Structure 1
Amino acid sequence: MTTIDPAMAPRAPAPDVRDNVMAIASGKGGVGKTWFAITLSHALSKRGQNVLLFDGDLGLANIDIQLGLMPDHDLGSVVAGKLTLNQAANRYDMGGFDVIAGRSGSGSLANIPPSRLQLVAEDLGLLARDYDRVILDLGAGVEKAVRQLAAAAQTILVVTSDEPTALTDAYAFIKINCIERPQTDIRIVVNAANSTREGERTYSTLLKACQGFLRISPPLAGVVRRDTRVRESIRNQTPLLTRYPNSEAALDVEALADRLLAE
């Protein structure tokens, strides 16, 4: 890990972001990022928020799969110029929020030209005016398309687990974002922790790396405990807060949502 001197870091153009857009990111796949984005959207909706969940995983979109949706429209139609972003929004009645689905089972959106992706990000900022909260589920990794969409969000929740590769890749995402957009509000979510205390220890490991090499201290947004019912709810394509509302993971995400709304 190399030290970044923020004074020497290149600055990206200041994006036109809205403070109600929150991106969910992870350095690597398999840490539960999309499940967390869905569950957080549901928790916020339950608290009276008008929520839009946007599937920004351009290569491996799967929000519709996890929710058992068969949307009439998706992001592919928007990119093709057939629909506006607003027209691509689908109501998910079970969760009480809107979804703009990606194109699952196809990598066709992974190669969107940067100029077209920029237009989508700008349209998302405009559409965000109609919602209390917009949750943007990013693709895993640090590719340019991921970073370009991330620029639409004022706050980024970086989801990680206690696996060394997950921590290393989460750090890599934070490092690059620190270079390109040092003003971003980055927070950490530790998912699938064996206990709250162990999750806090995992966060401490990542925090020390960020403080030591990047000179930043991203706060802990929350710890979500490991829960076998998460896998069961995904397998049944039903939100955890509907199927197992009193499970440990459900209670943890709801507590996190309460903290976000208390700010």
Structure 2
Amino acid sequence: MSTQLPNDQTQMMAPSLAPGSSVRSRGRNVLAVASGKGGVGKTWFSITLAHALALRGRKTLLFDGDLGLANVDIQLGLMPQLDLGSVVTGKVTLTQACSHYERGGFDVIAGRSGSGSLANIPLSRLQLMAEDLSMMATAYHKVIIDLGAGVEKSVRQLARAAGTILVVTSDEPTSLTDAYAFIKVTALERPGADIRVVVNAANSTREGERTYATLRKACEGFLKFSPPLVGIVRRDMRVREAIRNQTPILIRSPNAEAAMDVETIADKLLAE
């Protein structure tokens, strides 16, 4: 792959959030799935990872943290009566907004699809929600937060609840550049944060390794930090079919290459 990330022109962003406790001492069972830009399969990966963990007997919660463009419920074909919008308005607690997705065997807290009404939630309210989520996490083996794309304050606030952040990227130059921007901002705000990389929709394992090498080289050169590769998910047309049919790929096409790749990532995470 010949893609070259541009020189480090991302504006330095000073930490704007109150420092918390050590990243590694809290939220150890919470995984935040991030991406620099949309369209890289972040939500699909979050759903499939949650499903794979549940299939391995882990009590798992999937939290739709994409406050602007929530769509976990759409991909799963759900029509939840309660969602994060109900929590923000004070109608219910975060626990009450949680529902069980029977087909996948994991719990879901849905966002408010298509409204964008949560995009401008005050950071103080979001921080309380993140604290509530941290409390809920103690009742689960694993919690997956599907973050919104980008580096907005709301995204970074939710990411702080996680002990590990998985940054999903593809081989597209804009995806790589934006993934680097997310890694940079997070590393500046949270030195020592456990940030790892997932390459999605790779044409082959070798191509995925080349994509990762491009991102790693930029991080090493400018940040003096090398986020490890947690896994590569190969491009698979059955992913699109599963999304179109609002059915998890591990149900519709469990033997698909992409499905098996996510299962490999789940096994790797559980082996730690």
TM-score (structure 2 length as normaliser): 0.93
The equivalent residue for 1:43 is 52
Q: Describe the superposition over 1:101-127 as per-residue Cα deviations: whole angstroms up to 9, x where unpaired.
A: 000010100010111000000000000
Distance 2:257 2:248 in 1: 14
The equivalent residue for 1:213 is 222
The equivalent residue for 1:115 is 124
The equivalent residue for 2:270 is 261
Give 3-state SS (helix, strand or coil) of 2:28's partner: strand
- Cα deviation for residue 132 of structure 1 reads 0.4
Distance 1:184 1:49 in 2: 24
Q: Which amino acid aligns with 2:34?
A: A
Distance 1:261 1:148 in 2: 25
- 1:197-212 correspondence to structure 2 within 5 Å: 197-212=206-221
The equivalent residue for 1:64 is 73
Distance 1:144 1:60 in 2: 16
- Cα deviation for residue 235 of structure 1 reads 0.2
- Cα deviation for residue 218 of structure 1 reads 0.5
Give 3-state SS (helix, strand or coil) of 2:118's partner: helix
Distance 1:66 1:107 in 2: 17
Counterpart check, 1:186 vs 2:192: no
Q: Describe the superposition over 1:14-70 as per-residue Cα deviations: whole angstroms up to 9, x where unpaired.
A: 258410010000000000000000000000000000000000000000000000001
Q: Is the 8 A contact 1:12 1:181 kept in 2?
A: no
The equivalent residue for 1:13 is 19
Q: Which amino acid aligns with 1:34?
A: T
The number of residues matched between the two structures is: 261
Q: 1:154 aligns with which of 135, 152, 163?
A: 163
- Cα deviation for residue 182 of structure 1 reads 1.3
TM-score (structure 1 length as normaliser): 0.96
Report sequence identity in percent.
73
Distance 1:211 1:84 in 2: 43
The equivalent residue for 1:234 is 243
The equivalent residue for 1:33 is 42
Distance 2:100 2:111 in 1: 14
Counterpart check, 1:249 vs 2:255: no
Distance 2:109 2:80 in 1: 9
Distance 1:108 1:192 in 2: 31
Aligned Cα root-mean-square deviation (Å): 1.7
The equivalent residue for 1:130 is 139
Q: Describe the superposition over 1:163-206 as per-residue Cα deviations: whole angstroms up to 9, x where unpaired.
A: 00000000000000011011210000000000001001100000
- Cα deviation for residue 12 of structure 1 reads 4.9
Q: 2:234 aligns with which of 225, 235, 241?
A: 225
Distance 1:162 1:234 in 2: 21
Distance 1:15 1:66 in 2: 35
The equivalent residue for 1:172 is 181
Distance 1:73 1:194 in 2: 39
Distance 1:96 1:121 in 2: 23
Give 3-state SS (helix, strand or coil) of 2:96's partner: helix
- Structure 1, gaps ≥5 residues long: none
Give 3-state SS (helix, strand or coil) of 1:109's partner: coil
**Structure 1 residue ranges, 4+ long, deviating more than 2 angstroms after superposition:** 1-4, 9-12
Distance 1:3 1:65 in 2: 36
Distance 2:45 2:98 in 1: 20
Q: Which amino acid aligns with 2:121?
A: I
Distance 1:177 1:12 in 2: 14
Q: 2:101 aligns with which of 92, 103, 109?
A: 92
Q: Is the 8 A contact 1:15 1:151 kept in 2?
A: no
